[in-house]
A and B are shown apart, each in its own frame.
Chain A
């Protein structure tokens, strides 16, 4: 038993051993991708519901692909297609889902805490695919997997996360997961986006508003998407100024340690938080992140369904 809980709600509540256990299984699934037949019949006859109350393309497709490769039966419903309106409570939604006897729920919702709420009221397993500005644990796991593929043990490694940390679920999941594995995390951005209170999230977390200082001895730069829909002018004056002060340009990359690399959870705003030359350049690992995302999600779905890690070792090695 790698996962003690029936749900994956955040990396805050996932112990280091569980994180490493999940990543081991994910590495085995990664190996399946290179085979001519990429699916394994582990989840045949089980129903997974992808409940996306907020628009998402990448995460939804990644989950769907993970489910298909495990041969699960899939039902998708999203805010746009299920006539959700403000008056309906999440409890009503949950009770409807429970009545339909599903095996697992993947949920993306705009309200922080919503995945935890559903996990509490539902008997089936719940995987948080992003709850407002709170956590996005599968993104955190795939980021950590990508880092470990290059760096091995993360103890003492320095990861700098750049962007709107205050509103970022990706950042929170990274912070919890990375600090548990012994990495040092630097949060970088203007104080409007990186409030000082965030440094209290861990002993190995620091806040640095100057980009050059923040990346000087970093092993990894995790560059967050600037949410343009939030509107420039509040958190930062303009895209142009953000790019000038916090954009990851060729110039910034030249100043990094030679083996340091750049990550981005996507979708990118090219030439805002990341310059096109960097986004397409040799120091980024963005497509590795995408591939690892499917593997991590397969691993979680497999483990939550009671899959035996040893059995898997036999079939995919």
Chain B
């Protein structure tokens, strides 16, 4: 990719691109005309404008900027793992122009001041839009509700005690009702702690073989079942985070058919990797929910393909190298995912024939925006110029050097993936360009 501009002009045309939107990849080449951060024109063929700088993208795919509904940027409190600045840069490198951050920082994001703080920090760096969520309960203790209304006014886009489930059913019922009134979702980290217990990986053949304590699928299924019934009863919006079991996929499929307001996300690792990856005790494969069995992996992929699961969200969970040097049972849960999400999608969904590129792009951009009704423009005339340039065929190998996140705990370290984000634009401004060549 040639890139001759020293800086991006206020008005320009990107041409020789294949536009991918609303689930479809255009067969004919087209262009995008950007003026002061807004899409002035988009279409097939060549633009009928003169005197505007033109960038020839050489046939790359042009898609809406990706949006991740589930990231952990760790600020404030755990800046050794990630900050809003480093996380936002990693997001841009992964093609993301918007992310939804989880509130399990230290202290937890449980008041409007914290929401404003995170939004302000993100604006200082401006690598991507950051939409914070607030905690359901003060301190994420699961005892009472936080000030949802005040936080929504400050910019919160949803509520969750992510990392911990809301164990108290009555509190969850109240939260769904109250958040429903405000038009925002409750995001459920669905794990019944009394079933999951002290498990550190999926409970099955590999946990039995390795001598590690297991987390039963039933721990997730039971929690999702409860939350769906509470959403049905309250009319609130339930968003199921990181779906990992075939049972959960089936529960969501049925609930949607019955008209319950439920949306769902799945992580790249849950549609690509299974529990046998834990065989060498590497904590890079330790996360909650855990890597499951091959039929779960397939069910999650199929759920994405048929729309049961609305979108791909990474659950980007940075941890320091030291923490991931602990033994498997002692190491913290979680892996990073922003910079590998698109490539994992191409490698494990598109190349395998589960989804086409249009479907993958939609699950990473338009679907998450509509699931949370985020204030982001569409890839159309008059919309904000948030877009990515993609090479769906380029192969690259994940290594510590290729990653911008402050942490390196990727489950794909050393793996060769297909699909590369070549450039990311936020409101017409370049936030990432692949200079690896």
A-to-B contact residues, CB < 8 Å: 86, 89-91, 109-114, 116-117, 131-135, 166-167, 169, 172, 195, 197-198, 200-201
Contacts and interface: CB of A to CB of B under 8 A. Distances in A.
A89 B211 contact: no
24 contacts: A89-B322, A90-B325, A90-B326, A91-B325, A111-B327, A111-B328, A111-B329, A111-B330, A112-B212, A113-B210, A113-B281, A114-B327, A116-B280, A116-B281, A131-B211, A132-B212, A133-B211, A133-B212, A133-B213, A134-B210, A135-B211, A166-B208, A169-B211, A172-B211
A197 B205 contact: yes
A132 B205 contact: no
A53 B205 CA distance: 27
Contacts, number: 57
B149 interface: no
- Name the residue in A86, A114, A167, A201 with the highest tally of chain B Cβ atoms < 10 Å from its Cβ: A114
Nearest to B329: A111
Nearest to B281: A113
A113 B400 CA distance: 24
- Name the residue in B208, B211, B213, B280 with the highest tally of chain A Cβ atoms < 10 Å from its Cβ: B211
B208 A134 contact: no
Nearest to A168: B211
A90 B208 contact: no
Contacts of B210: 112-113, 134
Contacts of A90: 325-327
Contacts of A89: 322, 325-326
B209 interface: yes
B204 interface: yes
A200 B326 CA distance: 29
A201 to B, nearest CB: 6
Interface of B: 204-205, 207-213, 280-281, 322, 325-330
Closest 4 CB pairs of A and B: A113-B281, A111-B327, A133-B211, A134-B211
Nearest to B200: A112
Contact of B205 (A91, A111, A131, A200): A200
A201 B328 contact: no
Contacts of A172: 209, 211
Given A133-B212, A197-B205, A113 B328 contact: yes
Nearest to A134: B211
Contacts of A200: 205, 208
Nearest to A111: B327
Given A111-B327, A112-B328, A134-B211, A117 B204 contact: no
A112 B205 contact: no
A133 B209 CA distance: 9
Given A116-B281, A133-B212, A135-B211, A109 B205 contact: no
Contacts of B212: 112, 132-134
B208 A132 contact: no
B295 to A, nearest CB: 15
Contacts of A111: 327-330
